[in-house]
Chains A and B, each alone.
Chain A
Amino acid sequence: MIAESDSILAEIRSDLGLEAEIYRPRRGRMEVPPERLLDVCRWAKGRGFEHLSSISVVDRLKDDLFDITYHLWSYRDGLLLTIKTSIDRDDPRVDSVVPIWFESAQVHERELHEAFGVEFVGNPDLSPLFLEDWEGPPPFRKDFDWRIYVRENLFGQENEREKPYFE
């Protein structure tokens, strides 16, 4: 498998002009700028990375960025490739990978949109997944402290929807 992985590094360099690194057996990673994201993902899907394991967003409050990582697994080569891209925190928009990985990408992006407020341009359905009637800011951001929010907005208030059960 190590020989396979080295050949993938060579192909990434020649087909895409980018550098990737194998940092331990079966794990590779690379960084791409957001405008090249879709080309790289399309290349990866064609090269055999058919399984999108997950998409993850990390909120870098100090650097004012969101890091979005895509973890791709290839059944054929036995390698997990992590593609990382960074976008601006004040206007978080990135291209959706639904045209490449279809439904399995759609549900991950829907969850991240609700949790972090990142907009995935091209995703057919970004409606709320877990939360209902939520009016506050995206809850997983680093500047949101849920304990303060609950104490100021919800603590000690009557819950209109549950009222009939207590009458």
Chain B
Amino acid sequence: MGIELLGRLVRNMVARPLTVSFPTESIPIPDGYRGEHRFDADKCISCGLCASICPNKAIELVEAPPDRREEYPKRYPRIDLRKCCFCALCQDICPVGALTLTKNVFLSTFDPAGAVRPPFPDRSE
């Protein structure tokens, strides 16, 4: 028992660590991981199923910002990530595949207002 332990000790001292140095490297995240949402407004038909299935009522259907309202006249999902539990029921129920979950899990922020994701994010209002 003692000799085997010594051998293992020496091996561990010269081996690479099991962990990676996080901000510069990261372990690969597999496909299908439930992370941040991605919404494709061109496919959305405004059926409202995502808002009704969400167990935490994190999705609310809102109108598009004024300068896009002509092209997108219906209502689209705004997701409150503070309430979301990332269960992907909204992705499974969407009949056209407009709402999907990506692999981005690096969502921590100090700004609570930034955690509410509007359907058209490139305009601030």
Q: Do A and B come into direct contact in the complex, CB within 8 Å?
A: no
A interface list, Cβ under 8 A from B: none
